[in-house]
Amino acid sequence: MTLAELPLLQQLLLVLAALVLFTSFVLLEQARLVSAIHAFAWQGALIAAITVIVATGGGAKHLYFSALLTFMLKVLLIPWMLHRQVQRLDLERHTQALRRPALVIMAAVALVVFSYWLALPMVAQELTFTRNIVAVSLAIVLIGLLMMVFRPQAVLQVLGFMSMENGLFLAAVSTTQGMPLLVELGVAFDVLVAMVLFGVFFLQIRDSIESLDVDRLNRLTETVENER
């Protein structure tokens, strides 16, 4: 079935999925912390919109609740908590530019291609109209991972981690119409607790090394052992 033959709602779904992938790239490249938090909030909002559309398109009814939960957690609560942390740590004007932007973006594009390849056997199975989004969701997870590796700043690493969770939620929504509600609640609870703990950690890291540049956390390495 080509794109032109799908109902309009499903076309909208694909457009939203492509936009989520774009926000993932934006998040990867953002130098300013506050802009990165906003990009993350947009990503969450788009994913909540996708969930609502899947729910109206005949998905399980508990997806409405999941969408609301995602919206409140990923668009309102977690960005607010991060913003508050950034204010408390005086990082509002802080920028941390990507060191080798061209290479990292190329790596991200390679990851998109890789996730497409990986998702092919799943896409081959005739399922619902959302199966094409699996590749996008895996790409978001992997780009979140890339962000955690290449942005050595604590807040940005947390954003990468949260963006991975976004990708996982999207994967669940697109392949299986959402996981059972109990599991979704558990996952959301875990994410919230993780966010709280991250907040505690920002203060601890800042107190111990006077900055949130994670590269400076380097006392525990194998080579240092010999010098002690």
Contacting other proteins within 164-183 (CB under 8 A): 164-165, 168, 171-172, 175-177, 179-180, 182-183
Q: Which residue has the tokens 């010999």?
A: 226
Question: From residue 61 to residue 100, what is the string marking binding to other proteins with x (rule CB under 8 A)?
Answer: ----------------------------------------
DSSP string across 31-57 = -BHHHHHHHHHHHHHHHHHHHHHHHHT
Q: What minimum distance in Å lies between the beta carbon of 209 and other proteins?
A: 6
The strand pairing partners of 153, in sequence order, are 213
Residues 21-60 touching other proteins, rule: CB under 8 A, are 21-22, 25, 60
Which DSSP symbol is given to 137? H
Instruction: Enumerate residues 6+ apart whose C-beta is below 8 A from 83.
Output: 34, 37
Residues 125-144 touching other proteins, rule: CB under 8 A, are 125-126, 132-133, 135-136, 138, 141
> Is residue 14 near other proteins by the rule CB under 8 A?
yes
Residues 141-160 touching other proteins, rule: CB under 8 A, are 141, 145, 148, 154, 157
Cα separation of the two ends of the chain: 66
Out of 92, 95, 99, 186, point to the residue binding other proteins (CB under 8 A).
Answer: 186
Give the range of 43-51, 65-73, 78-86, 111-119 binding other proteins by CB under 8 A: 111-119
Residues 190-219 touching other proteins, rule: CB under 8 A, are 190, 193-194, 197-198, 200-201, 204-205, 207-209, 214, 217-219
CA distance 152 to 160: 11
Instruction: Check if the beta carbon of residue 112 is closer than 8 Å to that of residue 21.
Output: yes
Give the range of 11-19, 35-43, 69-77, 78-86 binding other proteins by CB under 8 A: 11-19
Count interface residues toward other proteins (CB under 8 A): 78
3-state secondary structure of 139: helix
Task: Please state, as a whole number, how many other Cβ atoms lie within 10 Å of the Cβ of residue 76.
Answer: 13
Question: What crossing angle do the helices spanning 78-88 and 33-56 adopt, rounded to 10°?
Answer: 170
Q: What minimum distance in Å lies between the beta carbon of 34 and other proteins?
A: 19
Task: Please state, as a whole number, how many other Cβ atoms lie within 10 Å of the Cβ of residue 90.
Answer: 9
